[in-house]
Amino acid sequence: MKTLLSAAFLSLFSLASTTAQAEPVALTLKLVDEAGKPLAGLGVRVAIGSDAEISAPGAGQQLATDAGGVIRMRAEATIDRRSVSSTGIYTRHPAEHLLVGVELDLIGRRALYRVRLDQTKAGTVGQINAFLASAGGRFDLPLAFHADTQSWSLPDDPAGLRLTGIGAELEAQSMTGSAETGRAIALTIAKQSFKRR
């Protein structure tokens, strides 16, 4: 019995250590304007990993979009396994989770757009949020949302300029592959222009 328990523990330990290992990730990121026109020659910092990893000011790589508004990047990243809810609070599904950070200009300030990806059997679910840098340089200050006007403002100027969006929208996302074959991620992000409210 003791041997059986030891074997089960060792097996669980091995499973835990394999899920925490970095995997090769190939990212294709396309940046467009609101009309869908590619943003060529745009300087962008891109990072792949956890919240802590991508929020650091020097994380990732400084790249530029090509004539088609595309950046291609290869990196190693840990893919987290977790369960996510779908149609109801009691229904959860296994998902493989990864974050991509894209640093872009936001009305004269640098903002990190965190793209959260969950790969489920039904496909890839994506969400995008914007963060500005705090005093320490980490991108961990979310934009302030104002429910009364359905608008956003900079976190250090809540009474200032109101924005009709966060500065970028996630238009398309996919994550394919496995730990054995490597991951392929494709993202399309539309950079927004703003109107005053």
Q: What are phi and psi of 36, to 5 degrees?
A: 90, 5
In whole angstroms, give the CA distance from residue 135 to residue 118.
31
Neighbours of 82 (CB within 10 A): 11
- pLDDT, position 16: 39
Q: Tens of pLDDT along 7-27? A: 444 343 334 333 457 889 999
Tokens 């703003």 correspond to 194
pLDDT confidence band for 91 (50 / 70 / 90): low
pLDDT confidence band for 82 (50 / 70 / 90): low
pTM given for the model: 0.81
Is residue 106 predicted with pLDDT exceeding 80? yes
Is residue 92 predicted with pLDDT exceeding 80? no
Pairing of strands 43-49, 80-85: unpaired
Contact 172, 181 (CB under 8 A): no
- pLDDT, position 4: 40
- pLDDT, position 83: 59
- pLDDT, position 182: 83
Q: What are phi and psi of 6, to 5 degrees?
A: -65, -40
